[in-house]
């Protein structure tokens, strides 16, 4: 696996065909998690996926669409068009170097621009395909759920807190407050997070456990790798069948 520690000649000699790009966020995560939670998780998950694929690991994008958390301290955000433009420039950069598949590991649920942006890029860029992994802290289809709270989880709850306890237990504070919000996730389109819960939590961090986080990450990385392999095989087959 290549990463930011590799030199330019080393990357040139390896001529990687696959690159992995994580996308995180810098935003409030309640009293118990650092504002860099999504960035830190993006860094670790994208590294694990890249290692399994023997791919070129790009440094994750640290800031993304977090405006719905904006009134709460520590949050920094990009506008949707800005994030789409950053992704486009990165895709063009790796395409120019011979990468044929760019895998995007989104670790922030609010980045709704990514799907239409990637659809457009796949029409615009002739020599590289971009695939978006399913949300990396989600349940794996067909497997028993790791987390108790399931769909009640949106932000800084059992899932994210368990994952941080697995990766960075020293960064998780003990002062955890559950946020049992009863409306749907779409309410973040109507109101900022502080209007829904002053603690900035949407879920049940008191139920978090590092062992759960480890099991969830292991399952998710396995599912993501399988997804990439299947997507690439399908893309190759589709291109072959479309050839004159």
What is the 3-state secondary structure of 120-140? HHHHHCCCCEEEECCCCCCCC
Q: Go through the domains of the chain in sequence order and give each one's CATH number.
A: 8-229 (3.40.50.10310)
The model scores a pTM over 0.85: yes
* Rounded percentage of the chain residues whose pLDDT exceeds 90: 80
**Residues 160 and 33: beta-carbon distance below 8 Å:** yes
| Measured distance CA(90)–CA(79) in Å, rounded | 17
pLDDT tens sequence across 20-51: 999 999 999 999 999 999 999 999 999 999 99
pLDDT tens sequence across 121-140: 999 999 999 999 987 665 56
| Measured distance CA(67)–CA(78) in Å, rounded | 8
Q: Is 227 exposed, middle or buried (0-12, 13-18, 19+ CB in 10 A)?
A: middle
Q: What is the mean pLDDT of residues 195-211?
A: 94
């Amino acid at each position: 696996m290549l990463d930011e520690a590799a030199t330019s000649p080393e990357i040139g000699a390896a001529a990687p065909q696959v690159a992995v790009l994580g996308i995180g966020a810098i935003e409030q995560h309640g009293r118990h998690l650092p504002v860099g939670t999504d960035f830190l998780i993006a860094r670790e998950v994208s590294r694990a996926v890249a290692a399994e694929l023997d791919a070129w690991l790009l440094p994750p994008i640290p800031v993304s669409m977090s405006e719905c958390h904006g009134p709460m301290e520590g949050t920094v955000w990009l506008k949707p068009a800005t994030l789409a433009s950053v992704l486009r420039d990165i895709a063009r950069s790796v395409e120019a170097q011979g990468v044929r598949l760019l895998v995007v590991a989104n670790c922030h649920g609010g980045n709704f621009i990514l799907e239409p942006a990637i659809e457009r890029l796949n029409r615009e860029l002739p020599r590289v395909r971009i695939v978006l992994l399913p949300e990396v802290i989600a349940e794996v289809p067909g497997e028993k759920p790791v987390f108790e709270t399931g769909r009640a989880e949106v932000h800084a709850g059992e899932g994210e807190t368990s994952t941080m306890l697995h990766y960075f237990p020293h960064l998780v504070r003990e002062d955890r407050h559950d946020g049992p919000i009863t409306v749907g996730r779409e309410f973040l389109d109507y109101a900022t997070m502080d209007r829904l819960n002053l603690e900035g939590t949407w879920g049940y961090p008191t139920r978090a456990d590092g062992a759960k986080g480890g099991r969830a990450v292991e399952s998710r990385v396995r599912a993501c790798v399988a997804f990439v392999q299947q997507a690439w095989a399908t893309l190759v087959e589709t291109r072959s069948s479309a050839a004159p």
